[in-house]
Structure 1
Amino acid sequence: MLVIRPIAQQDFPTLKQFAIESGHGFTSLPVNDALLQRKIDSSLAAFSEVSMTKREGLYFFVAEDSETSKVVGTCAIDAAVGLSAPFYNYLLGKQVHSSARLGIYNVVETLTLTNDYTGVSELCTLFLQESARHGRNGRLLSKSRFLFLAEFSTLFDHRILAEMRGVSDANGNSPFWSWLQEHFFTMDFPTVDYLSGIGQQDFIADLMPKFPIYANLLSKEARAVIGHTHSNTQPALRFLEEEGFSWRGYVDIFDAGPSVECELSQIHSIRNSRHAWVAINDEGLCDVHSADYYLISNTQFADFRATLAQLSLSDSPTTTGLPTVTLSEKVARLLKVQAGDKVRIVKI
C-alpha cells in the first residue's frame, strides 16, 4: 500500500536514482546533485510554515510503500512559476493571409514565444518507478496533489498548469528541437534540456527566435509532434484529462509537448472532495465494506499524508453536517489520524 508524504532529506539518494531512471526530456529531475538538493531544501522550507497567501514555493511529495518503507515515486506542486526566472512557452496561433481581389485565403499556424503562465501554479515532477506501475498507484500519485490543493487552496493560483513531456526517442532526440537546433542553436536536445532543468535559461532569451515562427516552415517531423506527448507520459495526461484539464494551444519550447490547464475550483477531485470525521473499526469494515475506492488525506500541512483505500462511509451527516468515514487501524496509522479527526475524501 502506498502513502504519499512530503519529501525528506533522507530521500536524496532515491531522488537521484529517479533522476537517472527518468531519462531525457524529464526537465524537472536533472541528474545534478546540487539542484536536487536545492529542490529538497525548497520543499522543506515551503513545509516549514503555512503562509496565508500565495508565494513561491515547491511542495515536493514522495510515494512510500508501507510494507517495505521503500520510496517508489515522486510528485510536486510549484506554487508560482516564472517569478524568479522567466517561464517560457510557445503559443500555437493562427495568422490569415488573404486577398479578396485574387480570391486567395490562407490560414497559417504560428508559434509565438510567451510568458503567459507567469504566476500560475504547476503540477510537476510526476515519476513512478516501473516496478510500481500497476493497479491504482499511478492514479494515487498523480491525484493525491488535488487533496493538498483543496485543503490549502489559498497558497496557490486559481489556474493550475501541467507541462506534458513531448516526443523524443530513446537517445533523447526531439524532432521539434532538431529543427530549432539546425536554424538557431548548436546544442543538442539533452544539453538544452539539462541546462533548463538546472535553471540556466539565459540562452533561451539570447538565442530563441524573437518573432513568431510559421509552423509550415518547420520540417514535417517537427510539425507532426507539436502538442503530442511522450509515450511514457500518456497515462499521466489521461489522469489530468479525467480531472478536467485541457490543452489551450501552449507547448514546450524544446520538445513541443502540450501544456494543459484547469481552473483550480473546476478540477474534478477538488470540486467533489469533502471533509469527514474519522471512526476506526477493523471489524466493522468486514460488514459494511464499500466497494468504492477513495482518495483520502489528513488535513495536516507539514505532516500531510494521503493514500487510496476502500472505505466505509456513512452518508448520514453528523450534527456538524459531515459524514463519518470508518478506517482500519492500518489506514489510520498511515494517515496519522485518530478517531474524531477530520480527513478529506473523494471517490475514485
Structure 2
Amino acid sequence: MSWLVRAARESDLGALYEMAKLTGGGFTNLPADRAALAAKLARSAEAYASSEEAPGDHLYVLVLENAQTGAVRGTAQLFSGVGRSSPFYSYRLGTLSQISRELGRTFRAEMLTLTTDYEGCSEVGGLFLHPRERAGGLGMLLARSRYLFIAGHRARFAARIIAELRGVIDEGGGSPFWDGLGAKFFGMSFQEADEFNAINGSQVIADLMPRHPVYTAMLPEPARAAIGRPHPGGRAAMRMLEAEGFAHEGYVDLFDGGPTMVAATDALRSIRLAERSVLAGIAPGGARSLIASGRLADFRACWGLSGEGMIDAGAAALLDVAPGDEVIRVAA
C-alpha cells in the first residue's frame, strides 16, 4: 500500500479545490471556493500549532495522499468543539400527542424544533474521496484515521461527538427539504444558500430561521420524505458511522434535512479498541491493522500488518517510524 493519511498543509489548496468541484453541492465543509478553502487550511494550521490541550474552537484538516506520486485524493475534517464561537443549530424531530375525550381520538403531530442541543460536542466531517479512488479500503482508511487522531489527542476533544450527513439532493442540485422550508423564509435557492453557507458560515441564515416548532404536516411531501434521509452517495458513510457506534437520535440539518449522528467519543470502536505501544521492531506478517504515528502536524496513518510490537516495513516507511517510536493501532 502506498496510501497514507496526514495533516493537511497550505500547499494542498489546489488539490482540495479540484476535489471540491466534484462534490455536486450540499457539501458545506468542502466549498468550491479557493478563498474559503484557504481560510480552512489557515485555521487548521493554527490548530496544529496550538498548545491548548483542551477542547477548543479548532479545526483539523486531514488529507489522503498517494506516497508514491504525491497526489492528494481525499480529505476529512475534525472540529474539536462546535458552537463555541457561535450557536450550533439543529432541528430535532419530535412528536406532540393530544387527546380529545369528546372525539375519542388521540392526535399525534410530528414537528421540527430548533435546538442547540449539540453545542460543545466535537464533530467529524468533511469526508470526501475522489471518485476514482473509491475502492481498496481507502474510504475506511480516511474515515477511521480521524478516530486514531482523536485517540492520540484525546484531551483536545469533547465527551460526545457528532457527524452530519449530507441530505437528499435532487438531479438539479436542489434540496427538497430546503425548498419546502428554508426557501419560504429567505427567497434563496438551495444552491445560493449552500454557497453562502459554505463561504460565510451558517450563522446568518441559522439566526433568522423561525424559532417556533414547524409542523411537518405543513410541508410538501418531498420535503417530509427527505427528513433524516442521507444523500444516496452518503449511505456507505452512514453505515461506517453506525459500525463505529454512531446513532441517529432524530436531529437533522437546517439546510437539507440530512441526519446528524451522535456517539460517546470514548465508546467509538476505533478509539475504544486502539492500542498505544512502543515499536519493538520491523517484521513481515501480522494482522491487518490501521496504524498511526506522530502528533498534530506530524500525524500520519495507514493500513499495515502488525503484531507483538512489530509492524511491516511498508507501514513503517509510510509512517516514518523506527524501533523505539510510539504508534497507535487498531484491528482492521
Q: Give the alignment partner of residue 339 of structure 1, picking from 302, 323, 328.
A: 323
* Pairs within 5 Å for 1:1-348: 1-181=2-182, 183-200=184-201, 201-206=203-208, 208-281=209-282, 284-285=283-284, 289-290=285-286, 292-311=287-306, 313-314=307-308, 324-328=309-313, 330-348=314-332
CA distance in 2, matches of 1:184, 1:266: 40
More moved, 331-340 vs 39-48: 331-340
Contact 1:299 1:344 survives alignment (8 Å): no
Quote how far apart the aligned CAs of 1:31 are: 1.9
User: Is the partner of 1:47 in helix, strand or coil?
Assistant: helix
Do 1:166 and 1:258's aligned partners in 2 also have CA atoms closer than 8 Å? yes
8 Å Cα contact 2:161/2:263 also seen in 1? yes
Shift of 1:270: 0.4
User: For 1:169, what is the secondary structure of its paired residue?
Assistant: coil
C-alpha offsets along residues 265-302 of structure 1, whole Å, 9 cap, x if unaligned? Answer: 10011001111232443xx41xxx23x32110014232
TM-score, normalization: structure 1?
A: 0.91
Distance 1:2 1:182 in 2: 42
Structure 1 distance, partners of 2:86, 2:195, is 16
Shift in Å at residue 237 of structure 1? Answer: 1.0
Structure 1 stretch displaced more, 28-37 or 53-62: 28-37
Deviation at 1:36, TM superposition (A): 0.8
Larger radius of gyration: 1
**1:295-328 deviations in Å (ceiling 9; x for gaps):** 10014232010001232x12xxxxxxxxx12321
Asked whether the equivalents of residues 166 and 225 of structure 1 are also in contact (C-alpha less than 8 Å), the reply is yes
Do the aligned residues in 1 keep the contact of 2:183 with 2:190 (CA within 8 Å)?
no
Question: What runs of 5+ residues in structure 1 fail to find an aligned partner?
Answer: 315-323
**1:317 counterpart residue number:** none
The sequence identity of aligned pairs, in percent, is: 38
Q: Separation in 2 of the partners of 1:170 and 1:2?
A: 33
Structure 2: 5+ residue stretches without partners: none
| Contact 2:122/2:158 (8 A) holds in 1 | yes
SS class of match (1:204):
helix
